[in-house]
Amino acid sequence: MNTGILKAEGLCKSYGSKRVLEGLDLSVHAGQKVVLTGFNGVGKSTLLNTLAGRLPPLAGRFRFSEQAALGYFPQALAWTDGTRTPEELVTGAFPALDRQEARRALARCGVRQEHALQAVATLSGGEQARVKLCLLTLRPCNFLLLDEPTNFLDQEQAAWLADTLTGLERAFLAVSHDAAFLNRAVTAVCAVEGRRLTKYPGNYAAYQAKK
């Protein structure tokens, strides 16, 4: 793979006796913005968690290029210490940033100054998602794994995220059911259908037109 950042071959995954993924092949190239789509329960988040190293594959293999640097956005908004403020989380993760620089980074992601100084667990789901996205965009990664990144975002916030991701020179593989986000941000759709995966070029509207 000259420009490939991820290649998966023959991946399988089961829940108990239920096989949710079988013989799945997937490739993502540098800069490509891909969404996984399909009905609930078909294994989309399972695949993302497997690629993120949080779940082992039942069979098959996958590999990232030597140049790949991963960033992961989980579906759950969990914090090791929910009493810390967003400002403290940013400066703790990136010691080279001072408090003012941390607040500016948070502001670019839509976190208001008063919220930057509150305990993160007391913020709304949308604000917490923005803090996580701020931390993610500050990391020197070139491939993002995004599990339902718009779940806690309103329409305006989801549009902001789509525009932000479009402007970043980073590939991503996302699970999302947000059609507006998908039409705005992605360049390819991978549909999980009958435990297999089919890749379609274009955004979600183009995929829907081909079905």
Q: How far apart are the first and last CA of the chain?
A: 29
* Percent share of the chain, pLDDT over 70: 98
Beta carbons of 194 and 42 less than 8 angstroms apart: no
Give the mean model confidence (pLDDT) for residues 38-65: 84
Beta carbons of 180 and 159 less than 8 angstroms apart: yes
Residue 16: which residues within 8 A CB-CB, separation 6 or more?
Answer: none
Tens digit of each residue's pLDDT (9 = 90 or more) over 145-159? 999 999 988 888 888
Residue of 72, 2, 53, 63 lying closest to 30 (CA atoms):
2
Tens digit of each residue's pLDDT (9 = 90 or more) over 77-86? 889 999 999 9
Tens digit of each residue's pLDDT (9 = 90 or more) over 89-143? 999 999 999 999 999 999 999 899 999 999 999 999 999 999 999 999 899 999 9
Beta carbons of 43 and 194 less than 8 angstroms apart: no
Tens digit of each residue's pLDDT (9 = 90 or more) over 11-37? 887 766 777 788 889 999 999 999 998
Beta carbons of 33 and 199 less than 8 angstroms apart: no
pTM score: 0.88
- Angle, CA of 187, 191 and 166, to the nearest 5°: 20
